[in-house]
Amino acid sequence: MKNPNQISSKPIVDQTDSSKSLKESPERAPKQSGESTGSSADFSRFRLSQNFGSFSGVKKKLTTVPVRKPSKNQWFRVHPEKKMDALLLKYGEIGEEFYFIESDYEYQVNKDAKAYRLVLAIDRQGDPFLWPIVIPNEINSLRWHVSAMEAASNAELEWTKIQANKNIGAYEILFAEGDLEDPEWPELSLDELLEIAFKNKIINRPDHLVLLQLRGAV
């Protein structure tokens, strides 16, 4: 028989409607995929500077030195000392290339070769190249060549850009308005730069493919 004075060990259950409290609590809306978090992403702190290599101890090995003129949208500088005059052959069935000619074979390309001034130039990205400029003379003094020489001379002092003006038959010379830093020139000598630029582009034997093609032998 159950004792009426005995305290029940069953826990007392709160009869409050729990569903009501759940309804009254605010629901958290799911975040939309395109919803802004209130912070703008800024990754500029990860950007490498142009002289990153000098801070990190990394040195770039120069394996390619193009032989070309500056592009119309390219700011460039010219080294005041690293330059040379040479007889070069501009030749190529698909994309023209420049070749040095040993003196023993110059007579075979006299009609096609010209006297050029090779000047060391460099662009804003720090990539060097050799700019071949036809040396003007009494017979061959086109305004293109004269204006190119003037641009190269000016580029020894400041960042320069050239644009072809066909109406006047010459290059227009433009100068950078900003106070741009001087370029970091490669430490290689001119001979070392020429060796890289003209690798496999020296006509030094009678059976050279270019000579054979000029003679129609192949």
Q: What is the pLDDT of residues 66-121, one digit of tens each?
A: 999 999 999 999 999 999 999 999 998 666 899 999 999 999 998 889 999 999 99
Placement of tokens 């069935």 in the chain: 93
Three-class secondary structure assignment of 22-40: HHHCCCCCCCCCCCCCCCC
Q: Between the CA of residue 128 and those of 16, 77, 89, 124, 182, what are the distances in Å?
A: 83, 9, 21, 10, 14
**pLDDT at residue number 22:** 46
**pLDDT at residue number 48:** 64
Percent of the chain with pLDDT over 90: 61
